Amino acid sequence: MTETKSVTDPGPLAMARMRALGAAPIRPDLPDAVIVDEALQAGRSVLDIVRREEPAHILGWVEGHEPSQEEGSGLYHPQHPRNELEVFAACLGCCWRDRHTEPWPGDPCEQQEVLEALAWAKEDDSPRALGSYRRALARLDRSLWVELSGTGVRLGPRTATWARSQTAELREVFDLLPRLPEHQPVEKLR
């Protein structure tokens, strides 16, 4: 007869929860040291973030332990549709205003500013395009890349997990990120 064991160790459970949810609420009954120790053993770091105005944890990588793009991580990562990448680039351009600072948490902006930046950069403000941009914003919110609240948008907690090397690469293309020219006011789109 095979014996089944119940998992009672809180560290691995907390790690699994963070991986499954993307960001896990901070639990007062689970000391941070337990989670941090478990994460360090796996080459991961635990970052404190605020998600929907509630403190939470998200997993990052210990510097030097990030998965290598060349070697591959052995994990399948679905490719985001081009539209989502363009919308995220516009969110990044609108919320990260100074290349000398870290992108996260960035500055909040209005969703309208992101939509205007996309319409300006892509020269397409048709109702179909705007609907597509809005749907992409909602998907990015669900996947923690951006955070929507009412009519506002800010960078999501996943951007807090970027390694220094990734942020350095982004700084090199900072001027190419879609954003409205400084002199152009935000107009109301359909």
User: For residue 178, which phi and psi values (nearest 5 degrees)?
Assistant: -65, 125
The SS3 call for residue 106 is coil
Half-sphere exposure of 177 (CA within 13 A, CB side): 23
Neighbours of 50 (CB within 10 A): 12
Taking only the tens place, the pLDDT of each residue in 13-43 is 777 777 777 777 777 777 777 777 777 777 7
Whether 50 has a pLDDT exceeding 60, the answer reads yes
* Gap between the Cα atoms of 24 and 19, Å rounded: 8
For 53, counting Cβ atoms within 10 Å of its Cβ (0-12 exposed, 13-18 middle, 19+ buried), the class is exposed
Question: Residue range 118-135: average pLDDT?
Answer: 90
Taking CA atoms, 18 is separated from 8, 11, 25, 170, in Å, by 16, 11, 9, 26
Q: What was the pLDDT predicted at 152?
A: 93
Q: What was the pLDDT predicted at 81?
A: 76
Taking only the tens place, the pLDDT of each residue in 79-120 is 667 889 999 999 999 999 998 999 988 899 999 999 999 988
